Structure 1
């Protein structure tokens, strides 16, 4: 559509095709336009001619009227992008030829009398004794950093952790109910191991890292889960050493129930546990065995580390 100099004329589809396919034949001079040719001559004096065809504007900055092309007919397909589609077939990794014993149990290879107790399996799968040896000095150091006199040995720490395991499946309304004198509340597996005051003292000083070694909170490498990061790494190594990786695995979310105040707390409405800490877990698809997990601490802006 012609716009310069307040002129207006239209080109029909067949006339557009004739212009695009123009050559040096004499028939080009006989093309008819709906409006007088003087409109083109009138605007040529201004040095710019704008022609809009089907929403596209072509500008000619030449001071003279564009002459018909004398080249060979233009093939529109030459100006179209060429896409080369390659068919790709997904080929999963084949593990049959790999010299690796998938799903092989690496713990408790030899046991006395050939019998394994659940406690033996638990200690081997979690590397429990090394865990206790790590927690004891960290807890003592944490108490001293806060100006408290505190000491504990390996056996007492084992007893403390065992009491927490019992409390995990034998749940009472409050912590102090485990030392209650009421017959419907008292739990001898708890009250006979250590006094309540000692249990609370150990719980107050329980710690897993050195606070003085924490990175600057303004650093891009700051880890919000630094207080439990050594424990996460310990269990990830222990779980993978206990059982070889299996062929079929799955990765999904797992929620730890928590409704307190913490910046890492998440809300997922479709989960049975909607409020809490979110874990990314890599498990065996058949048995659910946990190979590796990580605590979600928030969106990463510096990419994958």
Structure 2
């Protein structure tokens, strides 16, 4: 090869490096979802210059000295690999278009017209550049709506005609048998740990009930430390805790409370470092019982939600997780399925860490599939999740189980454009049975759904500033956004009910933090059951504060429980909606009256001198 040809070859090689480097640079910029048209035009112009130089070099060389590899190499160089590196299996043009063979015959390897700058989307059959957004004005086909077929009657799974006290609702989750198990294990652990110290005195179920009563009481009335509840100073003069239990006995139980059998703990500790080691062994008896009781005592309505819950702790334990944007940043993470209507915790499990199983598809996918059991729930449910869980693969697999889903989407997963859009702007696209809709509010809202239509004509009011004044204005909004805002907060509602009067306090053992959280779950779920049964009987339910106060009194046995409203609520109403027409004869005094009882359906007087309404119900004549 003469010097002129060598110079031309070096020039072409330099242009090839510049061409491929520019493609990589443009591909990096495309990851930020910039305008792909400008990227393609820049790449094509660079490519054209390279091909011109290459053709000129080939014209200078003889046909016998050059061979073409006409098959395109589908392999791509990883982004983090150096652009100047060569593959161990095939030469990469990122370093040189020409590679010298042992016989000094140059071989040209060409990889096709140009490298693809379009990134594929997991779970889709197309790339980001192929996403065709439709405007909100374009009509969308409404998908088939789910037919709700629950495995049980939605609502409390108790005899609704019977009257339940707060303690009876609580014992659905903390039964006498599970209390006896905790008492036996606490006695065994206390006797073992106090060997050589002060003798351990066995506790009874009555003692354990009193202990629970104080734990719930301390959630109602907060003091800086536990010992303040028994102080006799003018500031901390609280007579009730001393009536239930002495300070020494309460602290003794707190330091020895144990859920599992100490002998089983010792056997399990020997398995540390092996696959047979159970990290949740110390909470297993109560953990399994509470999960089963939650599912047995209530059946969810059609709308359900899944989200994370954090149990606060500062313990040095491998189960502890960190969540940056959560109010409780450090703690144990639980994945919870809750009813969207009332916030009932139907099922949950504790996150033990990343799974190494080959069948695992990621914690977001696995957690949903673990909690959504169509055999126990039934079919036709509508599941709402946030952007941590939403994925095409998950939603399609749920749809195969006849469970519909709706959730927010992270912008970088569907090629979201950051171009400015007017307030209320809607655009959407479909991929088979998946709808992706983007709505412009104060921020861009991206939703994926398997049962919604892109736009149904719904509007929402927002404050806008026009001519220096704020006015309320209607803006179009997708139905998926409205339903998501309405039904996603099931777990948040449950967390709020727990947070008002949480019984959790500092403890030296990690498993006792879970014990107190299980008490919180039991109390809140019992309160929700009380609410639901009261509504079915047309009664006014107790507040959570009054419910907990009644539960404390019943557990401690120190006084009568807070009275539960009567089973039937009797309300007066006008017979015809007018006090001057449609009168009937009173059931008691037989005089004319315009008033009747809604529940009994009989006419009764309700005037200062004839209170037949009160006399009729107090005498029990309606029964």
TM-score normalized by the length of structure 2: 0.36
Partner of 2:170: 122
- Count residues with an aligned counterpart: 263
Partner of 1:271: 326
Residue 276 of structure 1 and its aligned partner are, at CA, apart by: 1.9
Contact 2:300–2:346 (CA under 8 A) maintained in structure 1: yes
Contact 1:139–1:206 (CA under 8 A) maintained in structure 2: yes
Give, in whole Å, the separation in 1 of the partners of 2:316 and 2:142: 46
Residue 275 of structure 1 and its aligned partner are, at CA, apart by: 1.9
Q: Unpaired runs of 5+ in structure 2?
A: 10-49, 71-92, 102-111, 113-124, 127-140, 361-365, 367-623
Aligned with 2:60 (options 31, 35, 43): 35
1:133 is aligned to 2:184: no
Residue 176 of structure 1 and its aligned partner are, at CA, apart by: 0.6
Residue 207 of structure 1 and its aligned partner are, at CA, apart by: 0.4
1:160 is aligned to 2:185: no
Give, in whole Å, the separation in 2 of the partners of 1:232 and 1:240: 13
Q: Unpaired runs of 5+ in structure 1?
A: 17-32, 61-75, 77-84
Contact 2:185–2:262 (CA under 8 A) maintained in structure 1: no
Q: Which has the larger radius of gyration?
A: 1
Residue 155 of structure 1 and its aligned partner are, at CA, apart by: 1.0
Give, in whole Å, the separation in 1 of the partners of 2:357 and 2:168: 42
Give the number of the structure whose residues are more often strand, by fraction: 2
Partner of 1:243: 298
Residue 255 of structure 1 and its aligned partner are, at CA, apart by: 1.3
Deviations for 1:239-274, whole angstroms, at most 9, x for unmatched residues? 111101332211111112222333322221211122
Partner of 2:222: 171
Partner of 1:143: 190
Contact 2:232–2:238 (CA under 8 A) maintained in structure 1: no
Q: What SS class does the counterpart of residue 276 from structure 1 fall into?
A: strand
Partner of 1:69: none
Give, in whole Å, the separation in 1 of the partners of 2:190 and 2:321: 31
Partner of 1:294: 349
Q: What SS class does the counterpart of residue 326 from structure 2 fall into?
A: coil
Runs of 4+ in 1 over 6 A off after TM superposition: 6-10, 52-60, 89-93
Q: 1:262 to 1:117 in 2, by over 3 A?
A: same
Contact 1:95–1:247 (CA under 8 A) maintained in structure 2: no
TM-score normalized by the length of structure 1: 0.68
Q: What SS class does the counterpart of residue 186 from structure 1 fall into?
A: coil
Deviations for 1:169-226, whole angstroms, at most 9, x for unmatched residues? 2110111111110243233331111111111112222100123324211122423232
Q: 1:239 to 1:13 in 2, by over 3 A?
A: closer
Give, in whole Å, the separation in 1 of the partners of 2:296 and 2:69: 72
Q: 1:50 to 1:179 in 2, by over 3 A?
A: same
Residue 34 of structure 1 and its aligned partner are, at CA, apart by: 3.2
